[in-house]
Each structure stands twice: as structure tokens, then as C-alpha cells.
Amino acid sequence: MVGMEVCRDIASMRRVVQAARGLGRRIGFVPTMGALHRGHISLIEAAQRDAGFVLVSIFVNPTQFGPNEDYGRYPRDERGDLEKCRAAGAEAVFLPGVEEMYPGGARTTIHVSGLSETLCGRHRPGHFDGVATVVAKLFNIVRPDVAYFGRKDAQQLAIVRRMARDLDMGIEIVGCPIVREPDGLAMSSRNAYLAPEDRERATSIHGALLEGRRRILSGECDATSVRGAMMRVLSAGRPSTIDYVSVVDPETLAEVERVGGAVLLAIAAHFGTTRLIDNELVERAESQ
């Protein structure tokens, strides 16, 4: 690989992609908000394995943050991120500023109904409209063959998949496994905010997911009792707020009453002032 292209404007990004496509390369795209960690790197590696030309975008998108959320203090590390992209084998990075992405604001919004209002959508109004819209913009700029998203953000993945399908974008959407710290905490750029005591307690999120999984795999069918068991484990970690502990259908994201074949266990909770999310897909043979 000869140097990595770093593009800050849409026109030069398009030129780089066109050149790669002209060489017959398949374009793999990894959209991120930066402060890259091993979770992000795993997406870049997945893209490299099956796409070829890997393009990473780093853009802290203001429209997906609520007025009292952490847009202003979201961790930013441009130099470190570029180094990590280079080391992971990315061939291009798109690093637009807010003015480049939203010159004079924007009047068009993509809303994926049904999937955007539940779970995190209930607690972060407008969040997924911001996500869907910026992902659509990035897709239009990059026009990738395939795009990679982490299952860590399961609702986001479901929304992006649905948007790509509904709008016939012709882009393959690949979901990648959740990368965790050795003690089970899902990697997140926001983990950097956690005070040491909160960092330790936050492992109760994964503990609660494992408890839910254990119960389901041992035959429990009543979603309310699974939720209750998860809630007890999570509460033992003393989160400052619990947004939700949910047992949902993996596709519709609607709460289920009885556990059938596959369910998504999903949690959002605050430790100190840090909001964390995590989930676990549990698949059980129908005969159980």
C-alpha cells in the first residue's frame, strides 16, 4: 500500500473513490465518530478481509446529539485516529468538518419509522434521524459496495439495514461482532469518561446480559421474568439511571412477551454521567 489518502472535502473524497473503482477495487466503508478503539479496528479488518479498498470516515455528527448530550466533549483524537487507520490498513480516510457536511444547515431528514422510536430512540428523541441522515449522506458521497457496522449499536444497524433496503441503495450492510474489554465491558469511545469506580460497576451491564442469556438457554420463556433477572444483576452495579432493560425481537425491536427462537437482550444505563449501551443476541432452538 502506498500512503493513505486523507480527504477533508467531498469533492476530493469522490475523486479518490472513483480512482479506486477505476482500478476495479471493491469499496468497503467503515463510518465512525473517531476516538478509535479495537471495536472500530475490527470493522476495518473485516472490511479488509472481504472488500479490498477500505475507506474510514471520522465525523462527530452534531445532528445525532440532543441539546443536553455530549457533543461538545465527545472525545476527539485526529492524529491518533489517523495513525490507527494507517496501521489497520485503511487506504483512505474521510474527515469532513461540520460546514462541509451541512453547509447552511440541512432541510432533509431520513426517518425510519417504527425502528427509530423504541429502545434508545425513546430516550434520545431525533437521534436516529440524525444517524440515518448522516449515514445516507456518507453513502451518497462514498457510494461503497459494502459498509460495516458494529452489532454493539444493534438498533443503529437495524435502522441502517432497513434504510438501505427501503431506499434501494444497493449497498451490502455487514454487522460485525461486539468487541469487549477482558472483563466484558463493551468497547466504546465513551468508556473514557468513566471514573474508576463507575468503570468497575459498569461490568454489571454485561453481567446482566449473560444472566438473561443463561436463563433463556436453560429454558425460561417468560420475557418479564428474564427482564427482572437482568434488572437485578444490573441494579447491583448501582447505575445512576437505567434507561431500559429489554427483551426484543431482533428485527422489529418490539418487546416480546414470550421468548421464541431468537431475541435481542438490550440495555442502556448511565454510570455517573456516562450513558452506556450493550446487547446480546440469544438464539435458542425452537424445540426448547
Residues that bind ligand AMP (CB under 6 A): 32-33, 39-40, 42-43, 149-150, 152-153, 176, 178-179, 186-189
- Shortest distance, position 285 Cβ to ligand AMP, whole Å: 27
- Specify the residue, 82 or 187, whose C-beta has the smaller distance to ligand AMP: 187
Nearest to 184 by CA among 65, 52, 278: 278
| Distance of alpha carbon 57 from alpha carbon 92, whole angstroms | 8
- Specify the residue, 39 or 212, whose C-beta has the smaller distance to ligand AMP: 39
Strand order through the sheet with 274-283: 241-248, 262-271, 274-283
- Shortest distance, position 148 Cβ to ligand AMP, whole Å: 7
User: Could you confirm whether 40 is annotated as catalytic?
Assistant: yes
Q: What are phi and psi of 280, to 5 degrees?
A: -145, 125
Residue whose Cβ sits closest to ligand AMP: 150
Residue 82, phi-psi category: left (phi > 0), alpha (psi -120 to 50), beta (remainder): alpha
- Catalytic site residue from 37, 40, 111, 123: 40
- Shortest distance, position 163 Cβ to ligand AMP, whole Å: 14
- Shortest distance, position 258 Cβ to ligand AMP, whole Å: 29
- Strand pairing category for 92-94 and 172-176: unpaired
- Specify the residue, 112 or 259, whose C-beta has the smaller distance to ligand AMP: 112
| Distance of alpha carbon 134 from alpha carbon 81, whole angstroms | 20
- Specify the residue, 188 or 246, whose C-beta has the smaller distance to ligand AMP: 188
**CA distances for 269 relative to 153, 219, 238, 244, 246, angstroms:** 14, 27, 10, 7, 12
Q: What are phi and psi of 253, to 5 degrees?
A: 65, 15
Written as one letter, the residue type at 31 is P
- Shortest distance, position 251 Cβ to ligand AMP, whole Å: 17
Question: What residues contact 221, with CB distance under 8 A and at least 6 apart?
Answer: 258, 259
- Shortest distance, position 153 Cβ to ligand AMP, whole Å: 4
- Specify the residue, 186 or 263, whose C-beta has the smaller distance to ligand AMP: 186
- DSSP letter assigned to residue 185: P
| Distance of alpha carbon 192 from alpha carbon 274, whole angstroms | 9
- Specify the residue, 63 or 189, whose C-beta has the smaller distance to ligand AMP: 189
**Diameter of the chain by CA atoms?**
57
Catalytic residues: 40
